[in-house]
Each structure stands twice: as C-alpha cells, then as structure tokens.
Structure 1
Amino acid sequence: MNVSTTVKAPTAMPGARASPSSDGTALAAPSEIWVPESSQWLSTTRSRVASDGYTWMQGVHWVAGSGLYQPRRHRRTGLRGMGPMTLYIAQLLSELSPCRPGVTYLTRRTGLTKRAVEYHLAALREAGLLAWIVRGTRVQGGPALASEFALILPVEFDVALGIRTLLREETAPPYTRAATGISEAGRKVMARLAKRAARRVRKPRKTAPKAPAKPSSKTSPTANAPGTGHASGAPVSGGSRCTPMRGGADGGSGAGGVVPPLETTSVASGSSKSPTEKSPSKPRRGRRLNKVGHRFELATRLAQEVPWLRGAATPRLAWVLRDVADAGWTVEEIRAWLHHRGTPEGHVHRPSGLLAALLRQALTVLDTPAKRGQAVDAWRAAQHAARHDRITHTRTRTHAHDADLTGPTSLAAQREVADAFARPTGTLAPDNHLSAQADHADEIDDALRQKCREEAEQLIALGEPDLVVEAVQNLGRAAAETHYGKRLVASALRLAATTAHLTLNRLTHR
C-alpha cells in the first residue's frame, strides 16, 4: 500500500486565519490542537518523530505560543494551559536520551508534586508533543518502571509553517517522516523559534498570589499605559524575566522615575529604611481535614497502635471505620471498645473483617460521649493494672531465679559444709579441704588420692571444673598436678577458660 509522503495543507476553515507567503500560497492555520488518549501512542499517532531535542523544543515553543492547545474545560482538575513550568519540564525531557523520565526525578528537579508533574506530561501528550513508547507500571511488591516517551511534532505544526515531509521507505511507519523543505513564510517563524529553543528556560519561581496594588500618585503614568505590556497573543516563553518592585510580572521596566537609582537615595548610606516594607508573615494553619480525610487519619493511627491491625490496607480500614469516624470517635475510644469486646492475640488473617465484626454494636452501646469517656477510663485502668502485673511478675521471677541456689554436688564438699556449720563459733576453719590436704599431703594414701581423682573427673564430665581450679589457685599448679594428675588439671583449666561449663551448670540446675 502506498503511503502519502507529503503532508498537504487542508482547506481553510471558516474560522481559520490564513497567512500569505512569499511564493503566493496561503498557509491555513489550524483552529485547535487536541490529541485523544487513543492516539497518544507512537504506533497510533499522526505526528512525526523529531530529529533531536533542539528541533523538538522549536515545536514546543510554537504550540505554547500559538494558544491552539486548550485543555478540556469539563475537567475539574488539571492545567488551565501551557505555562513556563510546562516549558521547563519539556526542556528537561529534551535532555534525556532515551526519554525515560521518572516522576520522582521530575518532582526533584521542579519542586512540584507527583500529581502536578503528571498534569504537565498529560498536557504535552494532548498537544501532540509526546507519545508513549512504553507505559510505566506500578506493580505492588515490584520495582516502579518509568514510562518511555518519543519526542514528536504535531501535524498542525507542519501545516502552519508549510513544512514538507517525505517518507523515505514505503514500508516504514508514518511517524518516521522527515522534513524536506519549508515555505518562505515558515522560515521566518522558524528563525524566531530557533532563538527561543536555543535560550535556556529558567525554572519558574514559586510566588504567592498578591492582591492588585492600588494606583499610587508616585508611579509614572507610562507604567499603566495600555501599550506598555505584552500583547495577549504573545508566546508563553517570551516576556521579561525580571519583575519591577511595584509592577506586575509583565509590566514595563519603570522608566520615567518610578524607582530612582540607588546612588541618589538615602538607602545606600543606610540613613533611611527601604521604601518596600515587608509584610508581617502570618502563621500558616494546617489544612482542615474533611470527612474522608478524618477517616483515613483515624485508620492510620489505629493501624499503628493496634498490633493485629498492622499490615492491613488503610483504605479498607477507613471504610470500616466510616460510621464511628463520622460520629466523632477518637482512637482511645475505639481501643477502649475493642478492649471491652476482647481482641485476639497473635496474627489475624483478615484484620479489616474482624474489626468490622467487633464494631458492629459500638454506636448502639456507647451512644453518648459520657459513656465513651467511662469506657476510656476503664480501659486505661485495665492497662495500668496489666502493666503493674507484668512488673510484679518480672520481679518475682527474678527473685526466684536469684534464690534458686543449690548446694554443692560433691559429697566431700557437703561434709565440709556440714562440719563448718557444726563447728563452734570462734574457731577458724581452713579455706577448703584442699588446704588441709596441702598440709597433710604426705599423709594421704593412694586409695584416698584415687578417690579424689575419680570425684574430680566426674565433676569435670558434668562441666564443673571448680574443684580442680581452686586447687590450682590455692596450692599451685605443681601441687595440684601431684594430687589430681596432669591430665585432669589440664582438662579443668581448659574447661574453665570457655563458657561451656556455664551452659552445663544451667542445664544441670534445671
């Protein structure tokens, strides 16, 4: 199938303006630019792809300055037209290759909200300047993928400037058309657009709307003259970037003595105050929440404070809490009612469903603020009592653990403890039986020494090296090895150097 390789200008509409060119032909200006959502994809667009970002910015300035793109007025939200911020976002897009801007990136560069950035991108798509190649996705639990756009020039731009295009290959898609020529009238317009595209668009400053200043007798009559401002049909990107002190954003420069030079006034010497007094800043009040906002705020706080509600979807909780939220309930009153009904412990499979079941009779039982206040007092008293019980239980368990001390497991040590308690007061007993054995080491026969070694070996097997370690500390390692043997002394010291005996002792006492 043969594809038309030249974009021909349509016949002039009754309301369209015609601009004569040098070659005698008239260029019909389009009446409106609007691209429906179904044609905002690269595969379905009527526009052609721009060769580079510079060429694309020429088309952006032409669309913004022509005023042919007007958003649909039936919308309650969105832009009212393409402004300086739209041009700034377009300049950011022209610098990307490939054009895959993330909304987070654009919000960081522009300082706008995500919704405002989406409005500007939608305006560029509806004006035929952007087309989707890949549309981004926001899958829950997965990475957020950015959309990829193609920088395109609308057909109305080619028609208005008399640009002739050609399709190089018959099998190629229509959006790959290339410009082959331009009319004489379009050359002059293209030269002006080239200057604007070469100039960097500055980021617009956020200024608070001010009331119109009253006419002063000090201002020059030329400041408010009808011919000093820009024309209503001037492009958006044109105009002065500097704002006079007492003028509008598009006012004149103030020639005629509106503001005298700084050198001729007393402000430079510091002897007088500035003529422009700063208005005292008023404290900003927070935005008042409506009924739906109060529901979401109540759901968010309740999900943070109630353990079994964590992880539940906030919109679903807000829908469940709609009746009690509209009745003026607080988070404390809802928690008091849940305490009265009884809440589960642990994980709940469907928290929103359980919450809806527990709140079923809440408005009927606690129908007055006084009853809700009594429920909150009872809940707080129960919380205080539960906290006191936990503290008491913890203290009791700690004291019981500290008092749960068992005596020595060794028979010889038990006999010495009994002898120590049975000995009359005032007599000094040796430190332990090891010191007595040290005094009478020569009198110990082999049978008793073998019995002590067997007892020490049993204690080491149970993880208690204290008997041999104390012998090494009191008698010295040489005497301890003579009495217990080198193998047992080495095993006891190696066990005492680790924490294994602590675990074994804890398991033994259980």
Structure 2
Amino acid sequence: MPTTVAPPRPAPLPPAAEHDVAGHRVPSAGQWMSTTGGRIAPSGEAWLEAVYWFYKYSPFASSGSHGPKKFGITTWRMAKAIAHLTECRPSVGNLVQWLKLSERTVKYHLAMLRESGLLTYRARGTRVAGCGGRASEFERTIPQAFDDAAGLRTGPSDTLIRSVRGFAQDKIPLLKELHAAARPSRRKKRTKGANRRTLKATSGTPSCTPMVGSTSSSSTAGDLNSPSESKLASGQHKSPAPKKPTRRKLNTTGRRYQLAAELIQQVGWLHRAAVPRIAWIVRHVADAGWSTAEVIAVVGLAAPARRVHRPSGFLASRLKGAHLLYDTPAKRTAIVDHWRDSRPAEHDRHAEWWQDDCRRPASRAVAREVDAAFAQLQQPATPAADERELAVGDDGLVALEQLTRDEVIELRAAALKDPALVRATLTACGETYTRRLYSSALVDQVQRLARLGRTVVHSWRPA
C-alpha cells in the first residue's frame, strides 16, 4: 500500500509550559480494557490526533532495552495503517507487508503504542496447535495525559469509558494543529486546460443553493465553530428513497457449492469432506432445486451406518437416482415430514454436543479432559462431609456473618475468574448484598465491562 510521509519534526520544540506534560508509561498490567486508565477513541481520526501529539510533543520514552525509544516517522506510518482498520486486529504479518518493514521493527513500535496507552488489549493473540495463530485484538484508546495536555474536559460514558464534554479556549491552536495533521490528505484531480477555463468562468456565478462543506470525520474536541442559521436545513426537504440492496443470484455452479457447504456444516460425518467433491456429488439434486433438509431426509431413509469410512462415497451411494425418484416438490416435502418423525432424526437431535454444532477436539488430551468432565457431571452429587446448613433471614438471603474468612476469599476468587457470578448475584440478591459479599471494587469492574458490551476474562493466579 502506498505510504504517506508524515510532517517533518521541527527542530525547536515549543516551551514546556505550553504543551509538555510529565511523561508516563503504562505497565503491562494496565494494558487491558479492564484496567486501562484511558478512554476509547470515538473514531480513527480522533485517535490519530493523540498519536500525533505523542509523536511531536510528548516526552514519552520506551522502557525496552532494544529498539527505538521515542515515537518516530515509522510509528506515525503504522498508526495511520491501524486507524483505518474496521476491527482493530493488526496482524504483524499484515503490517510487515503493508509498510515494508521487518517483523522485529513492527513489534517494537506496537509495544510503544501499548506502553503509551494508545493501544489496549481486548483479547491476546494465541497459537493453537493444528489451527494456526490468531492475532491480538486491540482497542484504540486515548490516555489521560493527552486530555490534560490538550485541555479537554471529559465525563463518564457508557460506550467510550469517558467522552469529551468541553475544551479550554487557550488550547484551540493546538487542537486545530492536531486535527489538520490527522485529517486524511486529498489529492486534487488534474483537469485539462479547457476544463480549467470553464471552472474559472463559472466560479464567479453565485449558486441558487448554498454550498455547505461538510466532512464525516470527527475531531477529539468536536466542532469548534457552530454553523450560521442561514445554512441550516428547513426540514421540509424529503430525502430520496434508499436503494434496495440487490443480492447476487447464484448460477448453477454456485448453487452446487452452496448446497455442499451447508451439508458439510450440518451432517456430522461430512465435516472433513472437501466442498468441491461434495458439490460434484450433489450436482443432480442441486440442479433440481433440492434443499439441505431434503437431502438429509433422503440420506437418512435407509438404515444408518455404524461407521462411515469414505463420506463422499457413502453420500454418492445414498443419492444415486434420488433426483429421478423424487422429482416433484410434493414428494420431497412428504419425505422430509416422514424423516422428521422417524427415530434416527430424534436420535440426531439428542446426539453429543460435538456431533451437532461443534467439532470434537483435535487434541486427544483435550478430548480426554472433556470426557472426564462429562462423566463427572453425570455422576450423582454426594454431599460433602463438612457441608453445613446456613440460616436464612426474613428476606430470604443467607446472613454473610455465617461465612468464614476462607469461604469469602474463595467466593471472591471465583467471581474474579467468572464475572457471571457477580451479575447473577446482582440480579437475585440486589446491589447492597453483592457489594458486601464481593467488594465494591469487583462489582464496579464487572459493571464497567458490561457497559462496554464485551467481557474478557483473563487468567487469574492466587497471590
């Protein structure tokens, strides 16, 4: 992708009293959404304003023993690439390909963005054997140091942790500079000489409709100037009817591949089959307009096989001549109704969990652990020797004074690993009871994560 050159770093820096603040460095424990002290950037352009401030004015210095210490032109280029991602999952391999940098350089600058508080983990990348790696998912955040330096006043927000409520008047020049640096550059179209003369001739003629320039980008501080009343819309203009989205109609080959993919997803013994081969096997029934349920019904009419060695061959033998036998929609509807009332269909609906919606774990060790867990769940529960009955008050709740200190610590540790326990206690017992049991800090953290719309549970180790 073409790279844009950032504005050159000026030699004389502004006075410390005007823009500079005390340098800050976010530790590893504060680089998660549940522990960050920053706020979520409302847009990619607003986030770039904070990055540009770190690039030009901030005294931030990395704590790493190797690599760059401060923000540079490479950090700015990488931030521009990350700001345009719809889902902030910047894979190291993609950044290496886009920016033509080495893998080690990309990792250095990503670490600086995290350490400065501009990138915050939503989910940490993993490497699962046999399934490939998964890139880390970040959230573009704006640290408190930038808000203080830019004179922004923030308040609580349900979706952004904090949102901008106002700005200091003496910081308007700095905000304009940051907004101009983060604004995407637009290239002017080259026109011929005749077109230039036409434009010059018509530019002096006033238009009957006021031309109001607008942009879809949003600044960190919002609009600095309000539009005049003469440029406001009257509210009587009707917008044109939106165009209806047109779906692409599948051809014969596409219909075969669609039916094959649906069969592989819904039939357990077809999970490892190749889509092109299954598409060739179901070509006759797909051309006749069969649905997935009709194919499954015809395949399940005969006695079920104990073990399918060759899924594609087994499917071909079951569908041989089926398109000639059930040649009308009425016949196929009748066979589907008959299949739904049969015993094999009832058995398939109550099959094991990995044979229906999920696949069986590829690792044998994981499969053994899953089998042991299900076997333990199926065993009848035996009461523990030291189990005791707790007295219940008039409000139907157990008095917390009956719990020992070790039991309270164990309950809080379980709630720290699974926030659903806190939410369930809030619903059943109320907020006052929950805060006494789990502490106000833990309840506030769970409510904060719930407002973000996504809960990420991290590994917990006892101290």
TM-score between the two structures when normalised by the length of structure 2: 0.36
Question: Which one has a bigger Cα radius of gyration?
Answer: 1
Q: Which has the higher contact order (CA 8 A, sep 6+)?
A: 2
Normalised by the size of structure 1, how large is the TM-score? 0.32
